Amino acid sequence: MVALLVLSLAIAPVAQSQPPRDRPATPGTAVTDPALREAELQKRIADSPRGVAAYRELAKLQEDRGAFAEAELTLIHARQAMPESKDAVLALAALYNRQGDFQKTMEMLDVAEHLDPTDPAAPQMTATYYWEKAYKDHRLLPAEQYKYVMSGIAATDRSLALKPDFVDALTYKNLLLRMRANLETDPVLKQQLVAEADTLRNRAIELNKQRMAINSANTGVALPPRPPPPDGPVRVGSGIKTPTKTKDVRPLYPPAAQSAGIQGVVIIEATVDAAGRVSDARVLRSIPDLDEAALAAVRQWEFTPTLLNGVAVPVIMTVTVNFTLQ
């Protein structure tokens, strides 16, 4: 049997009122029929084919009515009319991204990066897409996730080569290195990657502090003092968000409990250290035959570090482990 992890979330239903299908036009406001607007934009493009705004608006209207192939063709024509335009390329990348075509999205971002090889924001944008893919797409196999993480790190390196103090690139490389560390099996390499990530994170925090100080000096507005770090772990809630799990280990169902038909939910209070690892765990709601299996699993979980005033802090949170007989 497989023990399933259940995240307990209580969601209150929200009553929503449906707006009327046809709303009266606001006095003095012209209402444009989308079909008429498309015709206007097509004529404008035919008369003056250079100008990204008209192409983008037309493509959006086409996309809104489900004509994705037409929208793609419109933006391809924009690229052909203005091959030097990064805006046209990014509009096409955004379209592919909304349609869930990750490969074509990245191809367009690569084109945008080569159009202006001196712009550090271009490879950094590429890095954010790789990070989001590796972080949010739970269908990926570990090897696929690793490939995207490494591509993201390479993109941040290209960005930092152009601008070493680029805070966004430092921040994302820090995140990507932590993801890579979670995928590595060599404990020494894992430790090295986390140490490098910590260095980058601290550098980004220091740069932000310097910029705030400069802004304060220029405006004459004094910065508020930084609150002191907490003496111990802070409890999730009241402004402290639940950290995101980056490593999940499912509990092993004890054979004796399984044979005896014992099932249910074990509730555990876990302390997550500043690096995102579970440093302590204790049972709040016990099922004696299942407690040790639940604790053994939770102690192996890992989470994103929790930042408080720009500093990583340990947190206390409640988690549940559900054992279900199937």
Give mean pLDDT, residues 14-36.
Answer: 52
Residue 12 has pLDDT above 60, yes or no: no
pLDDT given for residue 223 in this prediction: 54
**What mean pLDDT is reported for the chain?**
84
Give mean pLDDT, residues 9-14.
Answer: 37
pLDDT given for residue 209 in this prediction: 80
pLDDT given for residue 326 in this prediction: 74
pTM for the model: 0.58
Helix ranges, the chain (H): 34-47, 52-64, 68-81, 86-98, 102-115, 121-136, 142-162, 167-183, 187-219, 255-259, 291-298
Confidence of residue 106 (pLDDT cuts 50, 70, 90): very high
- Please count the other Cβ atoms lying within 10 Å of the Cβ belonging to residue 270: 20
The 3-state DSSP class for residue 277 equals strand
What gap in Å lies between CA 325 and CA 281, rounded to an integer? Answer: 25
Directed axis angle between helix 52-64 and helix 86-98, to 10°? 10
Residue 51 has pLDDT above 90, yes or no: no
The residues, any chain, with a CB within 8 Å of residue 315's CB and separated by 6 or more, are 233, 234, 235, 236, 240, 243, 271, 272, 306
pLDDT given for residue 7 in this prediction: 37
Confidence of residue 237 (pLDDT cuts 50, 70, 90): confident
The string of DSSP letters for 9-42 reads --------PPPPSSPPPPTT-PPPPHHHHHHHHH
Confidence of residue 5 (pLDDT cuts 50, 70, 90): very low
What gap in Å lies between CA 78 and CA 206, rounded to an integer? Answer: 42
* Residue-wise pLDDT tens digits, 126-174: 999 999 898 888 888 999 999 999 999 999 999 999 999 998 899 899 9
Give mean pLDDT, residues 313-325.
Answer: 91
What gap in Å lies between CA 307 and CA 303, rounded to an integer? Answer: 12
pLDDT given for residue 24 in this prediction: 45
pLDDT given for residue 217 in this prediction: 67
Domains and their CATH numbers in the chain: 33-218 (1.25.40.10), 234-323 (3.30.2420.10)
Least Cα distance to 76 among 101, 102, 49, 44 occurs for 49
What gap in Å lies between CA 268 and CA 10, rounded to an integer? Answer: 18
Under 8 Å between Cβ of 83 and 63 = no
Identify the DSSP state of 283: E
CA angle 116, 122, 128 (to 5 degrees): 165
Identify the DSSP state of 48: -
Residue 9 has pLDDT above 80, yes or no: no
Q: What are phi and psi of 40, to 5 degrees?
A: -60, -45
pLDDT given for residue 219 in this prediction: 66
Give mean pLDDT, residues 70-82.
Answer: 94
Residue 86 has pLDDT above 60, yes or no: yes
Give mean pLDDT, residues 14-20.
Answer: 40
Residue 28 has pLDDT above 60, yes or no: no
Residue 100 has pLDDT above 60, yes or no: yes
pLDDT given for residue 212 in this prediction: 75
Higher pLDDT, 226 or 110: 110
pLDDT given for residue 312 in this prediction: 79
